[in-house]
Amino acid sequence: MVKLKDLARELNVSITTVSRALNGFSDVNEATRARVSAAAERLGYRPNMNARRLVTGRAHTIGLANPSESSLIHEAHIAEFLSGIGEALSESEYDLLLIPFKQDDEIERYKRAIASNRIDALIVGSILLHDPRIDFLHKVGMPFVVHGRTETELPYAFIDIDNESVGYKSAVALLEKGHRRIGLLNGPAEMTFARDRELGYRRALSERGIPFDPALTDNAMMADAHGFAATQRFLTLKKPATALIAGSMANAIGAIRAIRTAGLIMGRHVSMIAHDDIFHFLKPESMVPALTTTTSSMRAAGHRAAEIAIRLLDGEPVENLQQVWEVEMNERESVGPAPDQG
Amino acid sequence: MVKLKDLARELNVSITTVSRALNGFSDVNEATRARVSAAAERLGYRPNMNARRLVTGRAHTIGLANPSESSLIHEAHIAEFLSGIGEALSESEYDLLLIPFKQDDEIERYKRAIASNRIDALIVGSILLHDPRIDFLHKVGMPFVVHGRTETELPYAFIDIDNESVGYKSAVALLEKGHRRIGLLNGPAEMTFARDRELGYRRALSERGIPFDPALTDNAMMADAHGFAATQRFLTLKKPATALIAGSMANAIGAIRAIRTAGLIMGRHVSMIAHDDIFHFLKPESMVPALTTTTSSMRAAGHRAAEIAIRLLDGEPVENLQQVWEVEMNERESVGPAPDQG
DNA sequence: TTCACCAGTCAAAACGTTAAGGTTGATATT
DNA sequence: AATATCAACCTTAACGTTTTGACTGGTGAA
C-alpha cells in the first residue's frame, strides 16, 4: 500500500508538502502540486482512512440504524432509502455505517458507535411521536437527521413528507366521488407519520361534516396480511366501507386480494388510493385496474437525508435543514364514484 | 471521551497494562485486571476504533456493495440480507460498510475501499456466470464471500442455495400433476442462479422425455411487471402453459394478476410454484389461493455470509467455507392437476 | 551466596496522517 | 542598506491505540 512517505521520497519533498498538495492548500506551488498529483495517480495512492480519522477526529462516516427484527415498515422501504443515501454519500466521499440493533438496544448501539468514534452523524428513521432517541442524541450532542418528525421542543434537522396532506388529499379525492365510508389502513398508532395521516383524514371528514368512525381505521404494521384482514373487516361492517386508503403498496396488495375475495371489483364497488414509496418491483400503474396513489420517493428521501447530514457537519444551522415534501397524487383507475347504498 | 491514558492515570498503572488487561493478555495480574475492568465500566471507556484500526491495520469492518440503480433482484431482497448480516456482525463487534456503486464503477469502488483500508473482507452478491469481480478480488488478495456461485477454477468461500434443485423440484412437482407445458419466469440469463434453475427445470423435463420449449422461458429481472407480461405471453401461446414456476414473490404477484386478468383461476386452470426468499410483508400463505413455494431465507443467508467472512478472517481455509443449502418445498393450494387439453 | 527464572509491569516505538509553527531565500519597501 | 513581506517548503508534534522488548523484585535451585 503506497503512502505519503513513499510519494515524498519519490518526489524529494516532505510528507507535509505532499499532504498539503493533495488537500488543496494554497501554500504549495502549482507546479509541485501537479507533480504530486501525477505521482499519486500513477502509484495509485489512497489516503489511509484510519490514520486520517484518528488525527482529524472525524470518522467521515454517517450511521444508519437498522433493526434486526424487521418489524415495522422498514423492511422493503429501507433498501430504497439506503440506495438514496448511497447515491448522495458516494458523491462526497462519506461512508455509510449500518448499525444493527435488536428490540431495545438501539440507544446502547448508538452509544457504542459514538464513543468509539465510528460516526460523525446519524440518520434515524421509524420515528415515534415521542421518541427517546431524539432526546438522547440531543443530550450527547451527536449531529443527526431525522427521517420523519416527532413531538419535541428541541430543534433538529429533518426530511419528511407531508403526511397530513397524504391523508387529507386521499380522503378529499374519495369524498368528492361521493364516498362516505372510507377505511384507513394506517401504520402503527405510535408512529408520527400514522398520526399525521389520520389527522389529515379526519380534517377532510370534518370539513364536510362527516363523523369519524373509529371502526374504519386500522393501525398495524404495513404488511400484506394486515391489509387483507383489515379490508375484510371494513367490508363486512353493517355499514361497509366503499373506499379505502392504504398506507403502503404492501397492504394495498392485501387489500386488493380482500376486495377480489369478496367478489367485488376495485374502482367499481370499492375504490382505493394507496401511498406509494416507489418500489421498482411493484408498480401501481401495472396493477389491474391501475392503482391511484399518492407518491413520494423513498430513494429521494434517503438522498436528501444524507445531504442534510453532510450540510449539518459542514456547520449549516439546523433551521435551514428542515424540509417537508409535498406529495403528488397520481390518478389512475382504482377510484370510481360511490355506489348507491341500499 | 475517556481514553486509555485516563484509565491509566486513574489507576496508577501504565497505559500498556490497561490495554493488556482489557484485551485479556495473560501477563496481567487478575486483581489488576478486575480493577481495570471496573474502572473502564464505570467511566464508560470504549476504545477509539480509528486508533485501533490504524495500529492493527485491520478495519474490523466488512464491506457490502450496494447498487445505486436498484436494477436487479437486489431491491427488496437486500434489506433482508442486510438484516441477516447485521445480526451476525453485531454479535462479533464487526462493522458493516455499505459500498454504493453505480452502473460500472463497482470494481473501482472496491479498489478505493481496499486501498484506503476501510474493509477487511467483502461480501459480494448478484453473481454472474463469469464474474470479473471474483477475478479481481482474487488478484488483489482481498478476502471475500460470495453469495451465490460462479464459474471459476479459483477457490472461494460461498453460501448459496441449491438453485438447480429449485428448478428441478418445482418442475417435478408440476409434472407429477400432469402438467406438460410449464412456463419458467426466470432471472436474467447471465446470472448463475437463473442458469442453475433452468438446468434443474430441463433435467426434470428430459428425465420424462418432454422436449424443452424456449418459448416457455422468460429471462428478466424479477419484477411485478415482468411477471405479468411473461405470464400473459405464456398463456396466449398456441399451446399455452398450464403451469408456472416463478422466480420470486415479486414476479409471482404479476403472474397472479395475469392469470386473473385472463379470467383463469390459479390452482385450477393454471398452477404455480414460486420461489420465496421470505419477505415479512408478502406472505405466500396468505395469498388466495395460498401459494405453493420453494423457500429459502434471505436473512439466514446474510447471517451465514457474515459468519463465513469472519471465519475467513480468522484464518479458516476456504475449503471449509463453501456451503450449499437445500431448499424446502411448501405445498399449498396453487398447484392442481393439469386441466384436460382440448 | 549467586544465579536463573518468572510474574507482573512499564517505557518507547510504531501505525499514517494532519496541523502548528518555523525556516528559507527572494522580492518589495523604506 | 536594512528591513519587512511573502511564497514555498520543512520539522515536529500530535491523534489513541497496540506491540516490542526491557525492567523490576521475589522465589527457588545450585
Full pLDDT tens readout for chain B, 342 residues:
899 999 999 999 999 999 999 999 999 999 999 999 999 999 999 999 999 999 999 999 999 988 877 555 556 688 889 989 999 998 888 999 999 888 788 999 999 999 999 999 999 998 999 999 999 999 999 999 999 999 999 999 999 999 999 999 999 999 999 999 999 999 999 999 999 999 999 999 999 999 999 999 999 988 888 999 999 999 999 999 999 999 999 899 999 999 999 999 999 999 999 999 988 778 899 888 999 999 999 999 999 999 999 999 999 999 999 999 999 999 999 999 999 864
The separation, in Å, between residue A90 CA and nucleotide C20 C1' comes to 32
**CA–CA gap between residue B121 and residue B313 (Å, rounded):** 7
Check if the beta carbon of residue A297 is closer than 8 Å to that of residue B239: no
Q: Report yes or no: B224 at the A interface, CB cutoff 8 Å.
A: yes
Round the CA-based radius of gyration of chain A to a whole number and report it: 25
Query: Which residue is nearest to the C1' sugar atom of C6, using CA?
Result: B27
Round the CA-based radius of gyration of chain B to a whole number and report it: 25
β-strands A328-330, A292-295 pairing: antiparallel
Interface of A with B in 264-323 (CB under 8 A): 279-283, 286-288, 299
Cell 495509485 found at: A44
pLDDT at B342: 46
Would you state the cell numbers that stand for residue A82, as one nine-digit string? Answer: 439506503
Check if the beta carbon of residue B255 is closer than 8 Å to that of residue B225: no
Interface of A with B in 140-199 (CB under 8 A): none
Q: Report yes or no: A224 at the B interface, CB cutoff 8 Å.
A: yes
Q: Is the peptide bond before A155 cis (omega within 30 degrees of 0)?
A: no
Indicate the Cα dihedral angle A150, A151, A153, A157, nearest 10°: 10
The separation, in Å, between residue B140 CA and nucleotide D12 C1' comes to 36
Q: Which of B48, B50, B77, B285 to mutate to test the interface with A (most CBs of A within 10 A)?
A: B50
- Residue B170 half-sphere exposure, CB side, CA atoms within 13 Å? 37
Residues 6 or more apart in contact with residue B70 via CB below 8 angstroms: A79, A80, A83, A280, A299, B78
How many CB atoms are located within 10 Å of the residue A44 CB? 10
How many CB atoms are located within 10 Å of the residue A265 CB? 12
Q: B253 vs A253: CB contact, 8 Å cut-off?
A: yes
pLDDT at A201: 98
Q: Report yes or no: B62 at the A interface, CB cutoff 8 Å.
A: no
pLDDT digits (tens, 9 = 90+) for A196-208: 999 999 999 999 9
Chain A to chain B Cβ contacts (< 8 Å): 185
Cell 423457500 found at: B295
Q: Report yes or no: A330 at the B interface, CB cutoff 8 Å.
A: no
Of all nucleotides, the one whose C1′ comes closest to residue B6's CA is D16
Q: How far is B51 from chain A (nearest CA, A)?
A: 6
- What distance lies between CA B185 and its chain's CA centroid? 19
**CA–CA gap between residue A194 and residue A199 (Å, rounded):** 9
Q: Which of B277, B281, B282 to mutate to test the interface with A (most CBs of A within 10 A)?
A: B281
pLDDT at A342: 46
pLDDT at A66: 85
Q: Report yes or no: B31 at the A interface, CB cutoff 8 Å.
A: no
pLDDT at B104: 83
Task: Spell out which residues of chain A touch residue B120, defining contact as CB-CB under 8 Å.
Answer: none
Task: Spell out which residues of chain A touch residue B76, defining contact as CB-CB under 8 Å.
Answer: 75-76, 79, 279, 281
Query: Can you tell me whether residue B276 is helix, strand or coil?
Result: strand
Q: Is the peptide bond before B317 cis (omega within 30 degrees of 0)?
A: no
Q: A100 vs B115: CB contact, 8 Å cut-off?
A: no
pLDDT at B288: 84
Q: A100 vs B96: CB contact, 8 Å cut-off?
A: yes
Q: B281 vs A75: CB contact, 8 Å cut-off?
A: yes
Q: Report yes or no: B138 at the A interface, CB cutoff 8 Å.
A: no
Q: B50 vs A97: CB contact, 8 Å cut-off?
A: no
The footprint of strand C (CB < 7 Å) covers A 1, 3-5, 15-16, 19, 22-23, 45, 47-48, 51-52, 54-56; B 12-17, 20, 27-30, 32, 51, 54-55, 57
Alpha helix stretches (DSSP H) within B236-290: 249-261
Ranges of residues in chain A with a pLDDT under 70 are 69-76, 341-342
